[in-house]
Amino acid sequence: MSTAIPGIATPGKVIAVHLNYPSRAAQRGRTPTQPSYFLKPSSSLAASGSTLERPAGTELLAFEGEIALVIGEPARRVSPDEGWRHVAAVTAANDFGLYDLRAADKGSNVRSKGGDGFTPLGPRLIDAASVDPARLRVRTWVDGELVQHDTSDALLFPFGRLVADLSQLMTLERGDVILTGTPAGSSVVAPGAVVEVEVDAPDAAGAPSSGRLVTTITDGTAPFGDFGSRPEVDDRQRIEAWGDAEAAGLATTSTDAAETAFELTDELRALLSSVGTATLSVQLRKRGYTDVFLEGVHANRPGARVVGRARTLRFIPFRPDLFARRGGGYNAQKVAFDTVGPGDVLVIDARGERGTGTVGDVLALRAQVRGAAGIVTDGGTRDFDVVAAMDIPTFSQGPHPSVLGRRHVPWEVDVAISCGGAAVEPGDVIVGDGDGVIVIPPALAWEVAREAAVQEAEDEWVATQVAAGASVDGLFPMNAEWRARYEATLRPGQGPAAR
């Protein structure tokens, strides 16, 4: 591939980032606090229109559409704010990997990602000076179907930070390439598949594009010899290569047991109670969770807060025959309020229909007596003033005097539901305050709570500076100078890294 940079034919270094997109980190179940890297040989480079062999005897060749940075001016010990200025161009890349050889590499990715043709680049370069680094888009198609689509505005580690970090220990030279990570959607491709990747800047003048980087997968015929590690796979590798257990043809994953074992301890409950839902939403967004707020749901009593694990109740639309069968007697609604446990939050799926009550004074009192942490519904509340005055926190779309049978049939309990447009499973962590209600997957609860506490401590310090007359320019968010001043105020062992 020609880089279109005079005097540079082949990059001296190709450096790849392990995880950088929140959507991919969420898929992997881990979010790094700092970037980590691996090297790919220049012999792995290929041009658009090339073919790539899936080696004989292997099954897990996976694509990863990425944004590639091409270094212009050499970079050595530059700051994150200066890093982008050392990027001459961006283009499309495909960081192919062979999961069958990951065990042999023991983390180095030398063979699993270093094969001939495993790093297609191009076909065209986009001038870095003409685009906003936070407004780039990467898309991948397999056989014409869009399978990856993400943007650079929410990266865990922005481009300038990557350049700065790498330049602390090595000189990034003219023509070097940095692969900046792949979003969710990476999966396995078989011989015959055509994979296309495009990077563009749709909001920039002229909407510059790399064009589509095209790679056709073929079937290798040369077997591996008996003088080195041979390909091997297991179910864990299959799940990671395909993206999830279902795509890999496996019914369950090892994470099921881990989620079952999760406990909302008093310590975690207190930590979540100390931070706002707005801050928690920022941390979840960084990890790819953007639809976790229960839209339209607000506290019935100003100042109310709730933290607990979800129990769920689902209503379906009213129909006379269905209500006759399921609406009377000891129905699902009564079961839910009669069995909610201490520390639980009863979350009700009313389909956003606020034109009738979904909880009233008697049922709210029953939940309070049973020790429930709260009640959340995306419908209405009957006996509103009485319910709002109770000790148990309640959240809804507001008051409505009508009874249940006007719009709803109580249908089932303890199933996955939609509440306020957000998916809620039994056992999810529910947090609510004056801004609304948010749902947190249990596997992320500790991580998100800790990072939110760090963020709020920083935001509180920023607010004191603004109150003292400081401009928000460079302060919110903090640039390198302000961050250094902030960290200098922290006692040893009390800084963000320690938290």
Q: Compute the CA torsion angle 48, 100, 36, 45 (nearest 10 deg).
A: -20
Q: Is 212 annotated as a binding residue?
A: no
pLDDT band at 159 (very low <50, low <70, confident <90, very high): very high
**Range with lowest mean pLDDT among 159-168, 243-252, 283-292:** 243-252
Residue 123: cis peptide before it, omega within 30 degrees of 0: yes
pLDDT, the chain, mean:
90
Phi and psi, residue 7, nearest 5° = 85, 0
Between 435 and 107, residue with greater pLDDT: 435
Joined together, the tokens standing for residue 70 give: 């091409």
Q: Is 127 annotated as a binding residue?
A: no
pLDDT tens digits, 386-399: 999 999 999 999 99
Tell me the average pLDDT across 404-424: 91
Phi and psi, residue 277, nearest 5° = -65, -30
pLDDT band at 134 (very low <50, low <70, confident <90, very high): very high
Q: What is the pLDDT of residue 2?
A: 42
Q: Is 338 annotated as a binding residue?
A: no
Residue 302 CA to residue 294 CA, distance in Å, equals 17
- Is residue 413 scored above 60 in pLDDT? yes
**Neighbour-count burial for 423-445, b at 16+ CB within 10 Å, e otherwise:** ebbebbbbbbbeebbbbbbbbbb
pLDDT tens digits, 71-113: 999 999 999 999 999 999 999 999 999 999 988 887 789 999 9
- Is residue 163 scored above 70 in pLDDT? yes
Strands (E), 234-299: 298-299
Residue with tokens 């129909």: 319
Residue 488 CA to residue 153 CA, distance in Å, equals 29
User: How buried is 387 (Cβ within 10 angstroms: 0-12 exposed, 13-18 middle, 19+ buried)?
Assistant: buried
Residue 34 CA to residue 370 CA, distance in Å, equals 44
Is 473 within 8 Å of 489 (Cβ atoms)?
no
Q: Is 424 annotated as a binding residue?
A: no
Q: Which of 131, 267, 303 is nearest to 201 (CA)?
A: 131
Tell me the average pLDDT across 109-136: 95
Is 220 within 8 Å of 60 (Cβ atoms)?
no
Q: What is the pLDDT of residue 255?
A: 42
Joined together, the tokens standing for residue 315 give: 């209503």
- Spatial CB neighbours of 179, under 8 Å, sequence gap ≥ 6: 14, 15, 16, 17, 40, 66, 67, 68, 93, 95, 119
Share of residues in the chain with pLDDT > 90 (%) = 71
Residue 357 CA to residue 383 CA, distance in Å, equals 9
Share of residues in the chain with pLDDT > 70 (%) = 94
- Is residue 339 scored above 70 in pLDDT? yes
List C-alpha distances in Å: 305 to 103, 300, 378: 47, 10, 17
| Three-class DSSP category at 247 | coil
| Three-class DSSP category at 442 | helix
List C-alpha distances in Å: 361 to 210, 295, 358, 390: 61, 24, 11, 9
Between 477 and 211, residue with greater pLDDT: 211
Q: Is 213 annotated as a binding residue?
A: no
pLDDT band at 261 (very low <50, low <70, confident <90, very high): low
Q: Is 17 annotated as a binding residue?
A: no
Q: What is the pLDDT of residue 4?
A: 40
Tell me the average pLDDT across 223-227: 88
Q: Which of 177, 185, 189 is nearest to 120 (CA)?
A: 177
Strands (E), 243-363: 298-299, 306-317, 344-349, 357-359
Tell me the average pLDDT across 272-276: 94
pLDDT band at 325 (very low <50, low <70, confident <90, very high): confident
CATH architecture of 290-440: 3-Layer(bba) Sandwich (3.50)
Between 255 and 163, residue with greater pLDDT: 163
- Is residue 237 scored above 90 in pLDDT? no
Phi and psi, residue 44, nearest 5° = -85, -5
Q: Compute the CA torsion angle 231, 236, 238, 242 (nearest 10 deg).
A: -140
**Range with lowest mean pLDDT among 30-44, 92-106, 247-261:** 247-261
Residue 477: cis peptide before it, omega within 30 degrees of 0: yes
Is 275 within 8 Å of 453 (Cβ atoms)?
yes
Tell me the average pLDDT across 259-287: 88
Tell me the average pLDDT across 43-48: 94
Measure the CA angle with vertex 52, ends 48 and 55; round to 5°. Answer: 170
Phi and psi, residue 119, nearest 5° = -135, 70
Q: Fold for domain 14-253? A: Fumarylacetoacetate hydrolase; domain 2 (3.90.850)
Give pTM, 2 decimals. Answer: 0.55
Count of Cβ atoms closer than 10 Å to residue 142 Cβ: 20
Q: What is the pLDDT of residue 374?
A: 97
Q: What is the pLDDT of residue 253?
A: 42
Q: What is the pLDDT of residue 192?
A: 96
pLDDT band at 434 (very low <50, low <70, confident <90, very high): very high
Residue 344 CA to residue 311 CA, distance in Å, equals 6
Q: What is the pLDDT of residue 347?
A: 97
